[in-house]
Structures are given as structure tokens and as C-alpha cells.
């Protein structure tokens, strides 16, 4: 009897988690890709990062107790990236590759995910003023890059997206079997970072301990 109840509980948890990944996996993978600085068609590092975050969410699934699993996974993803930020210093050709890992993390949380300054600061262990300064610096860098492209007439390199909008539903992610259909809306808002920083930014928005404050 005990074995049957445990099997039923495990089956329910697996179904709930699979439904969550099917709905939120696409947006989470896109956020991870912005963090790692990879182009859209080459997301191996982002998939590894997201898989690690999802594994931790699954391990705590029964202990979330009403906590939004999207928020929990996003925080875990940010913490893992902050810890491993030094691995992603080298430009990889993605939308935010020109930024430092710390700038990417702040920009993704603040503009792509719409997390409040205070929450972002608490998550990263930084003063609010520091988060604001990093975000401003990153946005300025992206706008300057967009302006230079407009002056030279150079188009973004292949595989580099001109916005950070979440991918449309129906795609397929190889990370933890994630299917980006549907998508769980983030707690902050769903604007693309390009919209948040102004159309002139074009490249959109995008660290923690690896990058240094």
C-alpha cells in the first residue's frame, strides 16, 4: 500500500513537472540563451544551464508549497549563471554577447523578465543603486552598438536575433525535454528587452560572482 501511494505521488509529480516544462521551457531557454550570449541556433551551453536549473526545481517540486515554479526556476537559473559567469566571458555571437556576464544577467532579469530592481538586487546580493547603474550601462552599450550598425549599414551576424522576444509556441527545446508551447507568464511582464530599451537598441536586452560587481 505504501509503495502504491509513493508510486502515485511520483507519477503525479512527474506529470505536473512535465506540464510546467512544456509551458515554460521555451521562455526559460530563451532567457538562458541571452545569458550565455549564444546565437539562436547554437544553444548548447544554455541548454545545459537550464537543465541544471530544472533539475533543482524538480527535486524541490513537492516542497514548493504554492510558490510559482517559474519564479523558482528563474531564480535558480540566475544563481547558477552568477556562479558560472566566468565561463561565458568570451563573445559567442549572440544578442548580448558584447556585454559582460553581469550586465547580461541584470538586463535579462530587469528588462526581459521584468523583475523589479529591489528583487534583482536581492537575488544578486547587490545594492539597488548598483543594479540600476549596471542596467543603464548595459542599455547604453546596446544602443551604441545599434547606432554603429546603423551608421555602417552592417546587419547583425547570422544567428543573432534583433530582439529578445520569447520564441513562439510550438517550437522544440532539447533541454530537459522542454517544449515551448504555451509558456508560463513571468511574474514581471513579458515585454521584449528591445521594446524596453527603445527601438533604437535593436539588439535587445540581455553576473554575478564570475563577473564581479
- Tens digit of each residue's pLDDT (9 = 90 or more) over 3-44: 888 888 889 889 999 999 999 999 999 999 999 999 988 999
Report residue 154 as a C-alpha cell. Answer: 552592417
Q: How far is CA 29 from CA 21, 133, 137, 165, 183, in A?
A: 10, 26, 25, 12, 11
> If the chain, 213 residues long, is cut into consecutive pieces of 10 residues, what is the mean pLDDT of each piece?
81 93 96 94 95 96 91 97 91 90 97 96 96 97 87 50 40 37 40 38 36 39
Task: Give the predicted TM-score (pTM) of the model.
Answer: 0.70
Cβ–Cβ < 8 Å for 69, 19: no
In the prediction, which pLDDT does 188 show?
41
Cβ–Cβ < 8 Å for 108, 34: yes
Q: What angle separates helix 69-84 from helix 117-124, to the nearest 10 degrees?
A: 50
In the prediction, which pLDDT does 206 show?
35
- Residues 122, 117: Cα–Cα separation, whole Å: 9
Report residue 88 as a C-alpha cell. Answer: 561565458
Cβ burial of 63 (10 Å; 0-12, 13-18, 19+) is exposed
Show the DSSP H helices in the chain as ranges.
2-36, 44-59, 69-84, 101-107, 117-124, 128-152, 193-197, 208-211
Close Cβ partners of 173 (under 8 Å, ≥ 6 residues apart)? 25, 26, 29, 47, 179, 180
- Tens digit of each residue's pLDDT (9 = 90 or more) over 61-77: 999 988 999 999 999 99
- Residues 74, 80: Cα–Cα separation, whole Å: 10
In the prediction, which pLDDT does 152 show?
62
Amino acid at each position: 500500500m505504501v509503495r502504491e501511494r509513493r508510486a502515485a505521488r511520483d507519477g503525479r509529480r512527474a506529470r505536473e513537472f512535465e506540464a510546467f516544462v512544456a509551458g515554460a521551457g521555451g521562455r526559460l531557454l530563451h532567457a538562458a540563451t541571452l545569458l550565455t550570449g549564444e546565437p539562436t541556433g547554437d544553444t548548447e551551453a544554455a541548454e545545459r544551464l537550464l537543465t541544471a536549473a530544472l533539475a533543482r526545481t524538480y527535486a524541490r517540486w513537492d516542497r514548493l508549497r504554492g510558490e510559482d515554479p517559474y519564479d523558482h526556476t528563474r531564480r535558480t537559473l540566475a544563481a547558477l549563471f552568477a556562479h558560472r559567469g566566468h565561463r561565458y566571458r568570451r563573445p559567442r555571437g549572440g544578442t548580448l554577447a558584447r556585454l559582460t556576464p553581469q550586465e547580461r544577467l541584470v538586463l535579462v532579469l530587469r528588462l526581459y523578465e521584468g523583475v523589479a530592481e529591489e528583487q534583482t538586487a536581492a537575488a544578486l546580493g547587490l545594492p539597488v543603486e548598483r543594479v540600476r547603474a549596471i542596467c543603464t550601462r548595459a542599455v547604453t552599450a546596446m544602443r551604441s552598438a545599434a547606432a554603429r550598425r546603423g551608421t555602417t549599414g552592417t546587419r547583425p551576424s547570422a544567428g543573432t536575433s534583433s530582439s529578445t522576444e520569447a520564441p513562439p509556441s510550438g517550437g522544440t527545446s532539447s533541454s530537459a525535454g522542454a517544449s515551448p508551447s504555451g509558456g508560463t507568464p513571468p511574474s514581471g511582464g513579458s515585454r521584449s528587452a528591445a521594446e524596453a530599451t527603445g527601438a533604437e537598441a535593436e539588439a535587445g536586452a540581455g553576473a554575478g560572482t564570475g563577473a564581479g560587481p
